[in-house]
Structure 1
Amino acid sequence: MEDSFLLFALVGFLAQIVDGALGMAYGVVSSSVLLSFGVTPAAASAAVHAAECFTTGASAASHVWHRNVNWRLFWALMPAGVLGGVLGAYLLTSFDAGFMRPIVAGYLGIMGLYILWRAYHYPDQYREHSRGFAGGLGVVGGFMDAAGGGGWGPVVSTGLLGTGGAPRPVIGTVNTAEFFLTLAVSVAFLGALLTGHWQSEDGLAGHGSAILGLIVGGLIAAPLAGYVIRVIPHRVLLVIVGLLICALSIYQTSRLL
């Protein structure tokens, strides 16, 4: 059990460093590791969101403290993300949502390449997104996050950056909104469990130390999030995000083969 705790503490730390700085990866990395240990998809998503209640809260506080949040964008994303997340949690506890994986992998590949192209052609030209566009992206991102165990950052951050958003406020705002999404999804999983809608709670029973490790590792790394994106130049952030998205696309595609 101690080995499991230390392993997942390291996973949580590294995943949260990347997530806090780039706006994605904690959920994808953590849920993938849990799945490799034999945890069911619904249980893995529930475990990751339980851990993220702590880590996203700390990360959000860091971004607010360092003034990385665009509050207009936040109020467009947060309610939409919560709605999509609750719907995704309901879907995942009802039946297998694996049919969406090829769609997500293709989306990530296209957007990753586009962000890399944009980093070298228009690194200093950014724009404000409409509330309608941000809200729609939030619904899709929240849905994918709950149904896939990690998709808020890859869908929302990638969509906003790829369509002209400035890296620092996009990443800070997406991370801050994620805290409320995570709370909503965790409550949805708990409600499904208590009402008998979800009968897979045994998938979490033997992994308490792993979940605790994710929480502790993520909490240690989360306060660094706001500072990291303040000191990294925008062009460099776009390149790193583009490379990460392409890597996630390759990884997701390899799981389908």
Structure 2
Amino acid sequence: MFEAFNLVDLLPYIAVGLVAQIVDGALGMAFGVISSTLLVSVLGVPPATASAGVHLAECFTTGVSGISHALHKNVDWKLFWRLLIPGVLGGVTGAYLLSSLDAGITRPFVMAYLAAIGVYLLVRGIRFPPREHRDPRFVSPLAAAGGFLDAAGGGGWGPVVTSNLLVQGAQPRTTIGTVNSVEFFLTMAISITFLASLGVAAFTTAVVGLLIGGVIAAPFGALVAKRVPTKTLLVMVGVVLTATSIFSLVQALR
């Protein structure tokens, strides 16, 4: 059952949801990794529970964000279908595996993964953009890996998929919009898997704040994607995630 909550308790999560979703909508990544880092390191929520809660919130935020990107014509529908099925299959597999393992075992690995994602984004930001744009070739295996890591690590679909598609030379605007749109179906599949494995109790009320903030911010991400340099956002998110995740990893290993 959901815990009792009040507005004061929700405010920090609403703020995090706002910031995370604006960055996610503009960059195609970061809502899951930022939110999961907060839930696991600050609140001490078990990784499986944190991932389940974040993905439940993302069912709403990614739905709104995806519609917004479609309205702004930021979606490449050919790429959309190439990402969808392998991404969902990878996500379901990752959710099932994470829900089957003890939280004490998975916590250090999850935080190490999030720290690695932060470093990865920082490096990609420094090296962005590619010299030319071209259609990406390595798509289906990338989607499967991204979906798996997103569920098992509490986030990572955007960092893994969007960054690699951009490195392959894909157009930033349509890549970001397409990856965000596919993420709605991915998070639905992952949430259903967690619900079947962990039950309703896994979706704690702490995520309600993330949901409120994320839904409010979701329509603005598509606008930010057109106005804020991708390189700037990549570097900023990379620095923040690397610092917070390394701190959380040290705490988890104590």
Whether the TM-score (by the shorter chain) exceeds 0.5 is: yes
Number of residue equivalences? 240
* Correspondence 1:110-189 to 2 at 5 A: 110=120, 112-119=122-129, 122=131, 125-130=132-137, 133-189=138-194
Q: Matches of 2:135 and 2:218 in 1, distance apart? A: 27
Q: Matches of 1:242 and 1:183 in 2, distance apart? A: 29
Q: Matches of 1:163 and 1:115 in 2, distance apart? A: 14
**2:37·2:244 contact (CA, 8 Å) conserved in 1?**
no
**2:99·2:198 contact (CA, 8 Å) conserved in 1?**
no
Aligned Cα root-mean-square deviation (Å): 2.1
Q: Matches of 1:9 and 1:110 in 2, distance apart? A: 27
Q: Matches of 2:240 and 2:141 in 1, distance apart? A: 25
1:79 matches 2:75: no
**1:115·1:161 contact (CA, 8 Å) conserved in 2?**
no
TM-superposed CA distance for 1:82, in Å, is 0.5
TM-superposed CA distance for 1:225, in Å, is 1.8
TM-superposed CA distance for 1:247, in Å, is 3.7
Identity of aligned residues (%): 46
Q: Matches of 1:111 and 1:29 in 2, distance apart? A: 13
Structure 2: state its 5+ residue gaps: 1-5
Structure 1: state its 5+ residue gaps: 195-200
Q: Matches of 1:31 and 1:100 in 2, distance apart? A: 9
* Partner amino acid, structure 1, of 2:119: G
Residue 231 of structure 1, aligned match among 221, 227, 232: 227
TM-superposed CA distance for 1:246, in Å, is 4.5
* Correspondence 1:17-166 to 2 at 5 A: 17-35=22-40, 36-95=42-101, 96-97=105-106, 98-99=108-109, 102=112, 105-106=115-116, 108-110=118-120, 112-119=122-129, 122=131, 125-130=132-137, 133-166=138-171
**1:55·1:219 contact (CA, 8 Å) conserved in 2?**
yes
1:241 matches 2:247: no
In structure 2, the residue matched to 1:197 is none
TM-score by length of structure 2 reads 0.86
**1:55·1:222 contact (CA, 8 Å) conserved in 2?**
yes
**1:39·1:203 contact (CA, 8 Å) conserved in 2?**
no
Q: Matches of 2:117 and 2:44 in 1, distance apart? A: 27
TM-superposed CA distance for 1:103, in Å, is 5.6
Q: Matches of 1:160 and 1:44 in 2, distance apart? A: 27
Task: Report the more deviating stretch, 4-13 or 239-248.
Answer: 239-248
Closer, same or farther: CA 175–141 of 1 in aligned 2, 3 Å? same
Residue 214 of structure 1, aligned match among 210, 215, 219: 210
**1:109·1:250 contact (CA, 8 Å) conserved in 2?**
no
**1:65·1:226 contact (CA, 8 Å) conserved in 2?**
no
* Partner amino acid, structure 2, of 1:37: L
For residues 40-94 of structure 1, give each alpha carbon's deviation from its aligned partner in whole angstroms, at most 9, with x where no partner exists. 1111111111111111100000000000011111111111110110000011011
**2:37·2:245 contact (CA, 8 Å) conserved in 1?**
no
Closer, same or farther: CA 59–113 of 1 in aligned 2, 3 Å? same
TM-score by length of structure 1 reads 0.85
* Partner amino acid, structure 2, of 1:86: V
